[in-house]
Amino acid sequence: MTRYLIRRLLSAFTVIAVVSLVTFLIFFALPSDPAVLACGKACTPDRIAAIHHSLGLDKNIFVQYADYVTGFFAGRTIGDGANAIHCAAPCLGISFHDDSNVWDTIWGRFPADLSLALGAAVVFMVVGVALGLAAAVRKGKLVDKFAVGLALFGISTPIYFSALVLQFFFVDKWQWLPAPNYTPITQDPAGWFQGLILPWAALVLGSMAYYTRLTRSTALDVMGEDYVRTARAKGLSRGKVILKHTLRSAITPIVTIFGMDFGALIGGSAIITETAFGIPGIGQLAVQSVLNVDLPVIMATSLFAATAVVLANVLVDVVYGIIDPRVRYA
Amino acid sequence: MTQQPHSTGTTGDSTVLEAEVTTATADTETTAAKEIVGRSPARMAFLRLRRDRASVVALTVALLFVLAAVLSPVLSGIEGWGPATPDLHGIDPDKGNFPIGAFGGISGSHWLGIEPGTGYDVFSRLVYGLRTSLMVALIAALLSTLLGVVVGLASGYFGGKVDAALNWVMNIMLAFPQLLFIIALTPVLTSAFSTNAHGGTSETLQLGSIIVIIALFAWAYTARLVRGQVLSLREREFVDAARIMGAGWKHMLFKQLLPNLWAPILISFALAVPTNIATEAALSYLGVGVVPPNPDLGSMLDAATQYYLYDPTYMVVPGVALLLVVLSLNLLGDGVRDALDPRANRA
């Protein structure tokens, strides 16, 4: 188990290293020159060269990457002379846009991400699985049709449309809720909850469908198995069979996609939800940095997201061994 | 079949699909034995699809949208407004350029109303936007399916080092946070393509880079699905037989394996199209895809966020259109899957 974990972590580390190198090469080597954008319209070659130098863009690309990695583990000083900024480890660079420390910006936005991810994930996992299970048990009945229809609807509705519709009714027309926003939970728990209800709802509507569909189809498969019939035949109640036998077997694929979804959500993949509701999370930061061509921030958000996904994958593999005794770590 | 610890829902499906191909063939044999009609598996699947009411409705709706997209110049010609000709008499400059008349200015000459602010005709922009969306989605789905099938075939059939290397690449592609990378890469690629004399971006180049990027992040799913199928197919007798008769790898891949894979490939293609439409619209919504004044459903919804309180029609029209397109194509994709997989949902 320990050996397996070490090996998985090592391979996760390689994936992250490759992702970081590829991301770096793509964004720093391709000709969307940040200096030209920073410089504006009236720009001389001298001025571009000066900006290149101050950003360290005049060095060899691999030297730049090495600097970047060193900076992450040991910290580094960016720029020289009077403009030099020290960036302590773990350093992800300094924003081209406003000279802020990228690592601090990301961690500053992380609580918003986490709030959105946690609240939504708990609901879409629990409700999605429950609906899927109910649909499988009452296959062909009203519950099934409702669950399948809702899932199809959820998959097909773009979040930015449901976000607008939700806001239109709940905030503007009926005024049941305040405008969606993010208040730190430490500051005002009630405000935190109220401000996040609609973003959670939009995210749940979009993600729940996968859980409903997956639970329904795996549960239907499992319910055809001999051991389920045996369990019923030996006198176990229907509810017990569903919870202890059916759900227990169906849970493995659910855990897989939940791990990946949750990792992605924490990593800032709720880009559209955050943009549509103005939640200041990492996804919104990513979009802003793309529109500003703020390379260090693009790089950092991509890296952060990839790391979250990869680590979530490792965690899922470990959890497998706990929930499914048939899994052997080799 | 060697299953990876993190097998996704799609790989789960593939085992079912594999079984279904066999049953379909078996069915045909029994029918033929009774001397009724010899039906090919494809014909049977089509008949099953035609019998499913939801699929027929979905197919009709999807075809209507495709037709509207293909005929967009004709339709907007009949209506009488181009996608970028403002009707300045239709909007009221004293009231923030909102359209005159109820329901966003819907009338006999503006079938779906007028765009607030610009005065453009909504119907015309909608059909032109649909054309862009469907074109991008279809080409991207074709590209990603093609690449995915080739990589999946190679990875599954050759095994060993080739498989290890290709599988590693697939895993890395799947580890990338997709939407984030698509968003981040689109402007980079667009500017890389268009560093021409004008410095501007032509629409074709921009659409081209959107297509390439969507395909780039989608092929790994198909590749993984095909790889799983090939891994189980290559243990079958007919593959052994062909190998013993001295078939080369090209024959093995394209004449022996590929014909047995059309069901999962068709399904993954059918479901890729609506996904791509949604991605394309999301990009435009976020401001990195198709940019105004070029018409697009996503950027219309982005514009609607400013006006939706006073002109909800302008929010509802592109939103419902997008919802209907994606919904009908998803439903059709599900229908195709059920038709090709007679055992599913009927157990």
Tell me, yes or no, whether B38 lies in a domain: no
For residue B39, pLDDT beyond 60: yes
Residue B3 has a pLDDT of 38
Tell me, yes or no, whether B27 lies in a domain: no
pLDDT in tens, A245-288: 888 878 888 888 888 888 888 887 788 999 999 899 999 998 88
Number of domains in chain B: 1
CA-only gyration radius of chain A, Å: 24
**Chains A, B: CB contacts under 8 A, how many?**
148
Please name the residues between 217 and 276 in chain B that touch chain A, using a CB distance below 8 Å.
Answer: 274
Subunit contact B184:A27, Cβ cutoff 8 A: yes
Residue B12 has a pLDDT of 41
From B312, which residue of chain A is nearest by alpha-carbon distance? Answer: A168
| Structure-token pair, residue B336 | 């195709």
Tell me, yes or no, whether B229 lies in a domain: yes
Query: Which residue would you say has higher pLDDT here, A85 or B72?
Result: B72
From B278, which residue of chain A is nearest by alpha-carbon distance? Answer: A158
For residue B1, pLDDT beyond 50: no
Subunit contact A302:B6, Cβ cutoff 8 A: no
Please name the residues between 9 and 28 in chain A that touch chain B, using a CB distance below 8 Å.
Answer: 15, 18-19, 26-27
For residue B215, pLDDT beyond 90: yes
From B12, which residue of chain A is nearest by alpha-carbon distance? Answer: A253
What residues are paired with B99 via a beta bridge? B91
From A20, which residue of chain B is nearest by alpha-carbon distance? Answer: B176
Q: Which residues from B are below 8 Å from A219, CB to CB?
A: none
For residue B106, pLDDT beyond 50: yes
Query: Is the Cβ–Cβ distance between A274 and A116 less than 8 Å?
Result: yes
> Which residues, other chains included, contact A130 with Cβ-Cβ below 8 Å and sequence gap of 6+?
none
Question: How far apart are alpha carbons B160 and B148 in whole angstroms?
Answer: 19
Tell me, yes or no, whether B46 lies in a domain: no
Tell me, yes or no, whether B26 lies in a domain: no
Domain of B132, in residue numbers: 53-345
Work out the average pLDDT over B134-138: 94
B201 inside 8 A of chain A by CB: no
- H-helix or E-strand spanning residue B337: helix B312-340
CA angle, B10 as apex, B6 and B12 as ends, to 5°?
Answer: 70
The three-class DSSP label of residue B162 is helix
Interface test with B, best of A157, A218, A290, A303 (most B CBs within 10 A): A290
Q: Select from A306, A239, A105, A156 the least CA-distant residue to B333.
A: A156
A172 inside 8 A of chain B by CB: yes
Q: Select from B317, B292, B290 the least CA-distant residue to B117.
A: B292
What is the four-CA torsion angle of B120, B123, B127, B129, rounded to 10 degrees? 40
Work out the average pLDDT over B22-32: 48
Query: Is the Cβ–Cβ distance between A26 and B188 less than 8 Å?
Result: yes
Residue A36 has a pLDDT of 63
The three-class DSSP label of residue A85 is strand
Tell me, yes or no, whether B169 lies in a domain: yes
Please, how many CA atoms are within 13 Å of residue A208, restricted to the half-sphere of its CB? 29
* One-letter-per-residue 3-state SS of A266-322: HHHHCHHHHHHHCCCCHHHHHHHHHHCCCHHHHHHHHHHHHHHHHHHHHHHHHHHHH
Work out the average pLDDT over B247-269: 87
A164 inside 8 A of chain B by CB: yes
Q: Which residues from B are below 8 Å from A316, CB to CB?
A: 5-6
- CATH number reported for the structural domain that contains residue B264 in this entry: 1.10.3720.10
Question: How far apart are alpha carbons B310 and B95 in whole angstroms?
Answer: 11
* Amino acid at site B138: L
Tell me, yes or no, whether B230 lies in a domain: yes
| Helix segments in chain A, DSSP class H | 2-29, 34-39, 45-55, 61-74, 102-137, 142-156, 159-166, 189-223, 226-233, 238-240, 247-264, 271-277, 282-291, 295-323
Question: How far apart are alpha carbons B130 and B63 in whole angstroms?
Answer: 12
Query: Is the Cβ–Cβ distance between A330 and B2 less than 8 Å?
Result: no
CA angle, A255 as apex, A116 and A20 as ends, to 5°?
Answer: 65
Subunit contact A152:B8, Cβ cutoff 8 A: no
Subunit contact A309:B171, Cβ cutoff 8 A: no
pLDDT in tens, B230-249: 888 888 888 889 889 988 88
Please name the residues between 267 and 286 in chain A that touch chain B, using a CB distance below 8 Å.
Answer: 267-269, 271-272, 275-276, 283, 286
Tell me, yes or no, whether B298 lies in a domain: yes
Q: What size, in residues, is chain A?
A: 330
A103-323 belongs to CATH 1.10.3720.10 = yes
- Locate the domains of chain A by residue range: 2-96, 103-323
Subunit contact B184:A298, Cβ cutoff 8 A: yes
